[in-house]
């Protein structure tokens, strides 16, 4: 972590914190994701034992033009919240920053740029480094807070979900998310002796096929850099390259670069939480995240290899998921809850075959020094790390394996199998809430799941 990044995290945390610790875990509550909040569905879900719904918003629908709010859409959101409140249902609101309007995506350098010059094929808005994008998002959050009275206890909103990636999670795009893009000019420092004729922004194909997402103008040169963000400690260096500015890259430099990359990501969540608090929102903030992130041993091995692609079995390095350093930052913020989005994902299926899928009470013992965590699925390591750090945690199943952006794999459990297993995983891992993905599937014939089966799981029976 660079000095500037460390100062940013600590100063914002100090502003936000009293800090309220997570509430003691009580009986687990149950919810649904992507709720339509229609009266018919809400009444049926309430009767089944569902007590909380996630209502996703879409920035592009809310603000289709700069400063122009779609009042009909705002009225629709109000109706949905009122319908849920009337049924005594808690509402968790998704900010919807992963659905930016076209005018935001058209801002200069608005989309993340990879180390090979590509852009993400899905999402990829640069909330991490780009000042213009941050300003637009900040204004949107401000309008949203005012329109929905988020500072008021009568808003009907019990929690707000924030995120960075195209799926609304704490992450950069995955290493396989890149699509070819036209070369975008970027201001660069003059070439150093010994580097003439080389393009410092294009990875050597012989080094790694991995894609890193901090190679736009803002993170590399400071042009248009967001307040509180910082420039790369090694401008122009691409992970895996053995030299920078004519000298050998050291492991300390690679470690500092990775720390900057991952800290910049979590600082984006810190900024969103700070913006909500600035606007007077007092409730919980949920941070969705997937996988187990970078294990400490893998991180050390990756740094020893100058981030050349080794020790990265899950693509967590490029996605910036250094949970052991990021969770303490989140724990330093007031009323932040992590939301694990992959209960019973394909990693859990594989771990189940080895008998390593279940969370155990002693998982937190010497957690960061253990040698067996490589056999654990994300749900086990991430929940243990949350308990170790003092963070409350909720969870959800990934959803139908053949649906887009759910991380599905031929070996994944079906939705029906996820409904059977995921609630038990949530209970065992100490999660306070379980969310079923997705509400539509519970009401769609032929989906393999229905509300009756979910009611049985809520009651503790088998689906």
The pLDDT of 119-131, averaged and rounded, is: 92
Is 217 domain-assigned?
yes
**Per-residue pLDDT band at 407 (split at 50, 70, 90):** low
Neighbours of 72 (CB within 10 A): 8
Tens digits of residue pLDDT in 83-103 = 999 999 999 999 999 999 999
CA distances (Å), origin 129, targets 280, 301, 456:
25, 27, 46
Domain count for the chain: 1
Q: Is the pLDDT of residue 413 over 70?
A: yes
Neighbours of 432 (CB within 10 A): 18
The pLDDT of 253-281, averaged and rounded, is: 98
Model-level pTM? 0.89
Q: Is the pLDDT of residue 249 over 50?
A: yes
Is 463 domain-assigned?
no
Tell me 373's DSSP state: G
Query: Residue 165 corresponds to which tokens in the numbers above?
Result: 């990636």
Tell me 111's DSSP state: B
Q: Is the pLDDT of residue 175 over 80?
A: no
Tens digits of residue pLDDT in 26-84 = 689 999 999 999 999 999 999 999 999 999 999 999 999 999 999 999 999 999 999 99
The span from the CA of 247 to the CA of 237, in Å, is 11
Return the pLDDT at 402. Answer: 81
Return the pLDDT at 410. Answer: 77
Return the pLDDT at 174. Answer: 82
The pLDDT of 443-451, averaged and rounded, is: 96
**Per-residue pLDDT band at 24 (split at 50, 70, 90):** very low
Q: Is the pLDDT of residue 196 over 80?
A: no
Return the pLDDT at 405. Answer: 60
Q: Is the pLDDT of residue 140 over 50?
A: yes
Which residues lie closer than 8 Å to 197 by C-beta, 6 or more apart? none
- Select the more confidently predicted residue: 135 or 175: 135
Tens digits of residue pLDDT in 251-264 = 999 999 999 999 99
Residue 32 lies in domain: 3-458
**What is the separation of C-alpha 436 from the centre of its chain, rounded to a whole number of angstroms?**
18
Is 422 domain-assigned?
yes
Q: Is the pLDDT of residue 16 over 50?
A: no
Whether residue 229 contacts residue 267, with contact meaning beta carbons closer than 8 Å, is answered with yes
The half-sphere exposure of 113 on its side-chain side, counting CA atoms within 13 A, is 24
Taking the alpha carbons at both ends of the chain, their separation in whole angstroms is 46
CB neighbour burial string for 207-238, b if at least 16 within 10 angstroms, e if fewer = bbebbbbbbbbbbbbebbbbebbbbbbbbbbb
**Domain CATH for 298:** 3.20.20.80
- Name the one residue in this structure whose structure tokens are 């969705």: 288
Whether residue 291 contacts residue 347, with contact meaning beta carbons closer than 8 Å, is answered with yes
Q: Is the pLDDT of residue 303 over 80?
A: yes
**Per-residue pLDDT band at 17 (split at 50, 70, 90):** very low
The span from the CA of 169 to the CA of 202, in Å, is 27
pLDDT over 70, % of the chain: 86
Tens digits of residue pLDDT in 354-379 = 999 999 999 999 999 999 999 999 99
Query: Residue 40 corresponds to which tokens in the numbers above?
Result: 């018919």
Please name the residue ranges forming H helices in 369-414.
Answer: 378-389
- Name the one residue in this structure whose structure tokens are 């949905």: 80
Report which of 405, 406, 407, 359 is spatially closest to residue 386, judged by C-alpha positions.
359
């Amino acid at each position: 972590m660079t000095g500037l990044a460390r100062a940013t995290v600590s100063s914002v945390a100090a502003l936000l914190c009293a800090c309220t610790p997570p509430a003691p875990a009580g009986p687990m509550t149950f919810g649904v994701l992507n709720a339509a909040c229609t009266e018919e569905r809400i009444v049926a879900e309430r009767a089944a034992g569902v007590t909380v719904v996630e209502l996703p918003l879409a920035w592009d629908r809310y603000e289709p033009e700069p400063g122009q709010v779609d009042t009909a859409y705002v009225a629709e959101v109000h109706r949905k919240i009122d319908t849920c409140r009337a049924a005594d249902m808690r509402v968790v609101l998704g900010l919807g920053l992963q659905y930016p309007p076209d005018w935001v995506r058209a801002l200069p350098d608005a989309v993340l740029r990879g180390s090979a010059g590509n852009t993400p094929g899905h999402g990829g808005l640069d909330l991490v480094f780009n000042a213009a994008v941050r300003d637009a998002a900040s204004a949107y959050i401000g309008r949203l807070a005012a329109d929905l009275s988020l500072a008021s206890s009568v808003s009907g909103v019990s929690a707000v979900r924030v995120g960075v990636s195209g799926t609304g999670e704490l992450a950069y795009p995955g290493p396989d998310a890149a699509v070819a893009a036209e070369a975008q000019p970027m201001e660069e420092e003059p070439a150093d002796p010994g580097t003439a004729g080389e393009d410092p922004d294009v990875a050597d194909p012989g080094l790694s096929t991995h894609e890193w997402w901090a190679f736009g103008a803002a993170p590399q040169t400071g042009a248009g850099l967001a307040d509180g963000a910082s420039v790369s400690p090694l401008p122009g260096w691409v992970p895996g390259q053995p030299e920078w500015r004519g000298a050998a890259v050291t492991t300390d430099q690679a470690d500092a670069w990775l720390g900057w990359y991952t800290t910049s990501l979590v600082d984006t969540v810190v900024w969103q939480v700070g913006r909500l608090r600035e606007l007077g929102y007092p409730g919980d903030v949920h941070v969705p995240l997937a996988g187990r992130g970078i294990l400490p041993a893998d991180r050390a091995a990756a740094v020893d290899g100058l981030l050349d692609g080794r020790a990265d079995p899950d693509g967590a390095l490029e996605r910036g998921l250094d949970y052991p350093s990021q969770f303490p930052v989140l724990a330093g913020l007031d009323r932040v809850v992590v939301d694990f989005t992959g209960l019973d994902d394909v990693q859990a299926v594989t771990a189940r075959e080895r008998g390593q899928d279940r969370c155990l009470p002693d998982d937190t013992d010497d957690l960061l020094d253990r040698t067996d965590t490589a056999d654990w699925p994300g749900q086990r390591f991430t929940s243990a790390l949350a308990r170790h750090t003092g963070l409350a945690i909720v969870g959800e199943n990934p959803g139908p394996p053949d649906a887009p952006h759910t991380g599905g794999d031929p070996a994944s459990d079906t939705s029906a199998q996820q409904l059977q297993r995921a609630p038990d995983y949530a209970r065992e891992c100490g999660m306070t809430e379980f969310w079923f993905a997705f509400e539509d599937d519970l009401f769609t014939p032929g989906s393999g799941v229905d509300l009756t089966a979910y009611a049985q799981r809520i009651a503790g029976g088998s689906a």
